[in-house]
Amino acid sequence: MPPDITLRNIEHAPAPVGHYSHTTTAGGLVFISGQLPITTEGDPRCDASFEDQARLVLQNIDACLRCVGVTKQHLVSVRVYITDISFWPLFDNIYAEWIGEHRPSRAVAGVSQLHYGAAIEVEAVALSK
């Protein structure tokens, strides 16, 4: 691996099940892998309400940001995948509450299904320190 690429996983959480890292830092950017509604103990919460799943996913994004020493204000792009696009307004409200005044670029896409039967997945890119 080139020396300017750093791979990290969230501390005090299970390692990813698949062949990837929670975060990759390279070229001054942090790439956050898609986060699902999974607890720090590794339990999928796909049976929870959409609102609870969305909040858990954003908590996982926060954990990824902390593990590389940055904050939500370092985010430059966020991609959101939801299985029922009618939840877009609810997600937008939860997201606005979570991120505050910061408004990085964002895409929200409706998809047919996500791993574990989740209703939402979020991936992001942030500036590194």
pLDDT of residue 1 exceeding 70: no
Q: DSSP for 22-88?
A: SEEEETTEEEEEEE-SB-TTS-B-TTS-HHHHHHHHHHHHHHHHHHTT--GGGEEEEEEEES-GGGH
13 versus 41: the higher-pLDDT residue is 41
pLDDT band at 11 (very low <50, low <70, confident <90, very high): confident
Task: Show the tokens assigned to 58.
Answer: 């954003």
pLDDT digits (tens, 9 = 90+) for 18-42: 899 999 999 999 999 999 999 988 9
Whole-model pTM?
0.94
The correct CATH number of 5-127 out of 3.40.50.720, 3.90.1150.10, 3.30.1490.20, 3.30.1330.40 is 3.30.1330.40
All residues at 6 or more sequence positions from 97 whose CB lies less than 8 Å from its CB, including other chains? none
Reported as type and span, the H/E element at residue 95 is helix 88-99
pLDDT digits (tens, 9 = 90+) for 78-110: 999 999 999 999 999 999 999 999 999 999 999
Average pLDDT, the chain: 95
The ranges assigned to domains in the chain are: 5-127
pLDDT band at 17 (very low <50, low <70, confident <90, very high): confident
Q: Which residues is 23 bridged to in the sheet?
A: 8, 32
- Please answer whether residues 64 and 32 qualify as being in contact, where contact means their C-beta atoms are separated by less than 8 angstroms: yes
All residues at 6 or more sequence positions from 129 whose CB lies less than 8 Å from its CB, including other chains? 68, 69, 70
pLDDT of residue 120 exceeding 80: yes
